Chain A
Amino acid sequence: MTDITETHVTSPAPSRSTKRIRWSQVFDHTILCTGAFFMLFPVLLVLMTTSFEDADIVRNGLQFGFEGQMLENFDAAMFEAAGFSKAITGTRMLMNSLILGFGFAIGKIVISMMAAYAIVYFRLRFATFAFWIIFTTLLLPLEVRILPSYEAIQSLGLANTYSGLIIPLIASATGTFFFRQFFRSIPEELVEAARIDGAGPIKFFIDILVPLSRTMIAAIFIIMFVYGWNQYLWPTLITTDEGMFTLVRGIKQIVQVLSQTGAMIPEYGKALALSLIAMIPPVLIVIFFQSWFVKGLTESDK
């Protein structure tokens, strides 16, 4: 006859374990902080420099500290007409860039979703072949086919238009690929249930596929918006009218034009202010869509 005895394991005093410094954590944070510093320091430096007068910048390069010129520089960057023909202001460039970014991202999503829909859900004769053709265009980015593209757009009379700026960039193998994979993971029964519920192809697309893909759409939207926003080569080539300049290419143009006209001091402060403004929209988009972005790429709600 033995009694069952409960044994209590005395747990070590909790205060000791919380007090102890976890070196691995310190190490991790050191790396993170160093990385963040390296990424943010140039931005901070630019921000500080915008508060100096152009003459100081020309004499001494990038500056530390704050002077009183920041507001003036930002004001000039946004609202002062500039360029050769005085046809462009910062706001105009910002608008052009936003049109390009949104047009590019939305256009890509619409086109690639429809392409993927056709490839996945319709019994087309050469669907797989067509998909692989689309996929191989990954090997031919715009930079490779830039001259023929320019020739085509030019002869269509689309140079210096938003359509000419956006359309050649829209065809997207990556988007089509992502949507194709996503659509293929949607259970077949859902399509059949919709058919029995009387949803035709267009209704099924709008009522079911689009809402199901919304996290996917958000993820692709971010990638594509930033990609479109940062376009440099194509806008440089296709827009010669200064009124069509985007921010990313406009910054350089302003500095260059002013320094070429002679005795004036290049307006570095203004250019730096513009480059800071150019960073803001992509950052906002990423912050705004961040949670959706992660969802879209990792989890699926089916």
Chain B
Amino acid sequence: MAQVTLDRVRKTYPNGFEAVQPCSVKIPDGELVVLVGPSGCGKSTLLRMIAGLEDITDGALSIGTDVVNDKDPADRNIAMVFQNYALYPHMSVAKNMGYGLKNRGASKAEIDAKVQEAARILNLGDYLDRRPSQLSGGQRQRVAMGRAIVRDPELFLFDEPLSNLDAKLRNQMRIEIRALQQRLGVTSVYVTHDQVEAMTMADRIIVLNAGRVEQIGTPTEIYEYPASTFVAGFMGAPPMNLLTAQIFEGALKLNEDTVLPITAPAGMGHKVLVGLRPEDVRLGGDGSVLFNVEIVEELGANRLLHGKLGGQDFSLSVGKDEAARTGVQPITLPVARVHFFDPDRGTRI
């Protein structure tokens, strides 16, 4: 168990492409940190640098108290769970889990004891003699977890471990991984592109975009106070509505007809981005704001209404008990829950 510190860690490929811009993060002991972002944002590269599978171009990475930049993956005392599990197809489940220990020179009795223990934790006791090809996706996932556990690592690394599972199993494994991590208290770094996974599992989320850290914070912080339009759009489904508004004598105008009943932030130019979470907006109102609903999406627990507000795309979410129909209707905007962003830089105001 250890804290992980990244000090201006950077990755530039030989062709000059900067995959990860200088990034400084401190991960406290025992926390599960989720790296989230769209594909190609550098989250996997960052994880692989922590694992030692990629060289670090610049900066210092420490696990515990030691700088480990130049250590081999095997000497970093980490364990990694891969997206496709990367189990050795010709080895039994027990051998898969014990292979790392065997290479460290552990005795047979010790390997046996640890594998049995991991199998007990993960309910794999009946499958120890099977080959990976004889297991289901969820079981393979658990073997991959087991391989990580038996090594008693200081740090768990997860590289999109759930993306090969079907939706139902994914929800179940998500909870299992989280519970296991909390029970073992091992510091973990978890990479995903799925914002639901990020929100539900993380102690702390790091949102990455184009190799740059956009925001670091707890799931609530990220959701309630997104630091940029990118974070606002990425976290949350459906994403936050972003409306471009003209500031005209302190009022926010979407177009000639639509003026938002929201006070413009002070000290701005003549333009601002207004962010509104779809679930914060209510149907009904005094008629000062009219929403033209074009499509109603039925999700069971709630309904999504998509359409135009002042000529711009807009969505809102209503509970399943509220009637939803297409056509123009009045809405009420949440005055207290409005986010403002700089229209040029996309940063929060």
Contact = CB atoms under 8 A, between A and B. Distances in A.
Interface string A262-302: 00000000000000000000000000000000000000011
A197 B89 contact: no
A196 B83 contact: no
Contact of B100 (A189, A196, A211, A212): A196
Given A189-B84, A192-B82, A301-B133, A197 B99 contact: yes
A192 B53 contact: yes
Interface in A195-221: 195-199, 203, 207-208, 211-212
Given A195-B72, A196-B79, A301-B133, A190 B99 contact: no
A301 B89 contact: yes
Interface in A153-205: 187, 189-190, 192-199, 203
Nearest to B87: A193
Contacts of A195: 52-53, 72-74
Interface residues of B, number: 24
A4 to B, nearest CB: 31
Nearest to A193: B86
Interface residues of A, number: 18
Contacts of A198: 74, 100, 103-104
Contacts of A207: 99
Contacts of A203: 103
A300 to B, nearest CB: 10
Given A195-B72, A196-B80, A203-B103, A189 B86 contact: yes
Contacts of B103: 197-199, 203
B274 interface: no
Given A196-B73, A197-B99, A211 B90 contact: yes
How would you classify the secondary structure of chain B's contact residues: helix, strand, loop or mixed? loop
A302 B72 CA distance: 26
Contact of B80 (A190, A192, A199, A208): A192
B51 A196 contact: yes
B78 interface: yes
Nearest to B76: A196
Contacts of B83: 189
B13 interface: no
B88 interface: yes
A195 B52 CA distance: 9
Nearest to B144: A193
Nearest to A188: B86
Interface in B49-85: 51-53, 72-74, 78-80, 82-85
B100 A197 contact: yes
Contacts of B100: 196-198
B111 to A, nearest CB: 12
Contacts of B73: 192, 195-196
B231 to A, nearest CB: 30
A265 B164 CA distance: 76
A193 B74 contact: no
B74 A190 contact: no
A211 B99 CA distance: 14
Contacts of B53: 192, 195-196
Contacts of A187: 84, 86
A189 B83 CA distance: 9
Contacts of B52: 195-196
Contacts of A193: 80, 82, 86-88, 147
Contacts of A212: 89-90
Contacts of A302: 89
Contacts of A211: 90
A149 B207 CA distance: 64
A208 B51 contact: no
Contacts of B104: 198
A270 to B, nearest CB: 48
A302 to B, nearest CB: 6
A62 to B, nearest CB: 51
Nearest to A213: B90
B133 A190 contact: no
A212 to B, nearest CB: 6
Nearest to B99: A197
3 closest residue pairs by CB, A with B? A198-B74, A189-B86, A197-B100
Given A187-B86, A212-B89, A302-B89, 19 more contacts: A189-B83, A189-B84, A190-B88, A192-B51, A192-B53, A192-B73, A192-B82, A192-B86, A193-B86, A193-B87, A194-B88, A195-B72, A196-B74, A196-B100, A197-B99, A197-B103, A198-B104, A199-B74, A199-B99
Interface of B: 51-53, 72-74, 78-80, 82-90, 99-100, 103-104, 133, 147
30 contacts: A189-B82, A189-B84, A189-B86, A190-B88, A192-B53, A192-B73, A192-B80, A192-B82, A192-B86, A193-B80, A193-B82, A193-B87, A193-B147, A194-B88, A195-B52, A195-B53, A195-B72, A195-B74, A196-B53, A196-B79, A197-B74, A197-B103, A197-B147, A198-B74, A198-B103, A199-B74, A212-B90, A301-B90, A301-B133, A302-B89
